[in-house]
Structure 1
Amino acid sequence: MVVRLVLRARAGTKGRVAVSFVAAIQSGFRNYAKFAGRAGRSEFWWWTLFTVLVQAATSGFGDTINGLASLAVLLPSLAVHVRRLHDTNRSGWWMAAPIAGIVVAIFVFVAFGILTAFDVVDGAEWDPSTAFDGVSAWAITLLAAGLFVAVATGVMNLVFLLQRSQPAANRFGPPPPPRTVQ
């Protein structure tokens, strides 16, 4: 079976390369842990659709099968994400930006949980209706800031992933060449 990359020419564009669904899956597994280079929009979005379909298909088989399927596509998903960012001339580290906000939010929740646990150990009675009475303004501010950073950088990431490929070579290499995958 021959899976080919389709060259499309539209008004105002110069021969964009669009990867087919099967070619994107093949590329994802062939470049399993390859973080260098570039991946076009179609390769990234077809791969993303494939991972969603894998998750949907394995979700009915229990947590073990679904977890193994998630692990199988995790590393190539990270790699194709980084290569897609490279295609827009951005560092792959942009992918990690939303995680910083989430880490701050988790830290605040854990710190609050530890402080609450110490109160309970000291003899205070746990009352869910007053659980947040002792939360200081700095904790709420940190939580809000962390969540804001996570959402804002997540939206920025999405915008980067939706942008067109740079047609010329950039600091991450030349654009993906048109080719036939056999």
Structure 2
Amino acid sequence: MDWYIKVLKQYFDFSGRARRKEFWMFLLISTIISIILSLIDKGVGTFNDATGYGIISGIYSLLVLIPSIAVSVRRLHDTNHSGWWCLLVLIPLLGLFILAIVFCFDSKEDNEYGPNPKLLAQS
């Protein structure tokens, strides 16, 4: 949960680097929260089958949109790629596949975006 809170605290921070653990834990916790909110929407009756969203889950999705993009950009920086690579998501399926692979890369050294966050955490 600490990784999720850390990303939310860096709401508009598109600079620097994000570790794999930070990115994937944020994605996991955010997905779990989205599923729970969708179930609440279904129970309350605000879930729309046509759109796949309810009012509560839709508001949550809008609230975490910017932090999700920011942590994705920082994760790309950690793999020594430009944040503009996020635009690959606009290529149906292939773009998501490429980004998922890049997000799995490990960082080994400092780069133009800053020091290796994994090494900073160990010291």
Which TM-score band applies after superposition, normalised by the shorter structure?
A: 0.7 to 0.9
1:74 & 1:26 partners in 2: Cα distance?
14
Q: Counterparts of 1:24 and 1:86 in 2: how far apart (Å)?
A: 18
Superposed CA offset, 1:21-77 (max 9, x none): x22112111101111000010000000001101101100232111111111211111
Moved over 3 A (4+): none
Asked if residue 173 in structure 1 is aligned to residue 102 in structure 2, the reply is no
Aligned residues: 108
**1:152 deviation in Å?**
2.3
User: What is the root-mean-square deviation of aligned Cα atoms in Å?
Assistant: 1.4
* 1:14-163 equivalence runs, <5 A: 22-62=1-41, 63-99=54-90, 101=91, 150-163=92-105
Whole-Å Cα distance in 1 between the matches of residues 28 and 12 of structure 2? 19
Counterpart-to-counterpart distance in 2, 1:39 and 1:65: 28
Structure 2: gaps of 5 or more residues: 42-53
Please give the alpha-carbon distance, in whole angstroms, between the structure 2 residues aligned to 1:84 and 1:151: 20
Q: Supply the AA of the counterpart residue of 1:169.
A: D
Q: TM-score, normalised by structure 1?
A: 0.56
Identity %: 35
Structure 1 position 173, deviation (Å): 1.0
Alpha-carbon distance in 2 for matches of 1:162, 1:168: 16
Give me the TM-score of the superposition, normalised by structure 2: 0.81
The structure with the largest alpha-carbon Rg is: 1
Which 5+ residue runs of structure 1 have no aligned equivalent?
Answer: 1-21, 102-149
